Amino acid sequence: MEKNASILLTGGTGSFGSHFVPMTLEKYDPARLIIYSRDEMKQWDMAKKYGDDPRVRFFIGDVRDRERLYRALDGVDYVVHAAATKIVPTAEYNPFECVKTNINGAMNLIDACIDKGVKKCVALSTDKASSPVNLYGATKLASDKLFVSGNSYAGSDGCRFAVVRYGNVMGSRGSVIPFFKSLDAGAMLPITDTRMTRFMITLPQGVELVWHAFEDMVGGEIYVKKIPSMNILDIAEACVPGCEHKVVGIRPGEKLHEQMIGEEDAAHTFEYPEHFKILPAIHNWSTDAGRIKDGVKVPEGFSYVSNTNPDWMSVEELRAWIETNADTIGHF
């Protein structure tokens, strides 16, 4: 993204937007940064923070509403797609609604970006889209495929689409760290499974991955950042030192370990110093030197899973992060 551009962020009042907006305003100084979302109260709260900044605009709308997207994208150069129905149990019990937002909404946005002359669009994905076991993951896998194929629909001179994929964000609303921290002193911490592992990423790292995608993309790439893992017992110890716990079992649709890249994608995956890049199997794009650049092909059978990750975060490192970010944990 160049400076003085017009940027639109779908789902802009969510966790990602809380960091993307201030970081992007500072780094790129856009002419307009449009927050597109359907929650008027969150927009109201966010507007109070940026009310005096003429660069920040607010647009009530839903990605399910094709006509509203077309209106919102007038004069927009770049789009970041963060809108989604993403709570796993919510998706399981409201599957039609999840499909309407995550799949139909993706199709609406792709068409609107192409027809309105947007230069580039980066969509946010999730670890749950890799070998999905729940409806949310299945809809995000479909969404990823739609954005990859959107480059074919756009033609050689049209909008370019790419995807970034990461897992649960450290300290975000509803995640395990604020949950553990909210329990009463001396309470037994509920642990789903003592073997469970999770990738650990901060929202600033997620924002930087989106920036990198805009700078690097040719079209159709899925970017996966290299990040550390932790065992759930170590996360609990970092949050509540010396805590006792009880095993409560894995929830429906939940994985024991997070997977970002499956073995099936290894044939089209390349490694870089700070990330991986899954290239599309279609149109021989996975052999395109312009997309590969200086990447190194991963070995046959490679997968990127939280329990086999070579990089691990220690209890002390997470505890230090919690202390530094205590004021924001659970508020984004």
Residue 199 contacts by C-beta under 8 Å, 6 or more apart in sequence?
Answer: 127, 166, 167, 168, 227, 228, 229, 258, 260, 306, 309
Q: Which of 212, 213, 219, 205 is nearest to 285 (CA)?
A: 219
The single residue of 86, 116, 120, 128 carrying the catalytic annotation is 128
- The pair of structure tokens assigned to 210 is 């989106």
Residue labelled with tokens 């929830």: 251
Alpha-carbon distance of 44 to 281, in angstroms, equals 43
Overall size of the chain counted in residues: 332
Q: Which of 31, 39, 27, 37 is nearest to 56 (CA)?
A: 31
- The pair of structure tokens assigned to 262 is 């499956």
Alpha-carbon distance of 209 to 131, in angstroms, equals 22
Task: Outline where 155-202 has alpha helix (H).
Answer: 176-182
CB 269 within 8 A of CB 261: yes
CB 277 within 8 A of CB 226: no
- Pairing state of beta strands 78-81 and 120-126? parallel
CB 232 within 8 A of CB 295: no
Residue 317 contacts by C-beta under 8 Å, 6 or more apart in sequence?
Answer: none
CA distances to 1, 78, 135, 185, 214 from 17, rounded to whole Å, are 17, 15, 24, 32, 17
120 is a catalytic site residue: no
Catalytic residues: 128
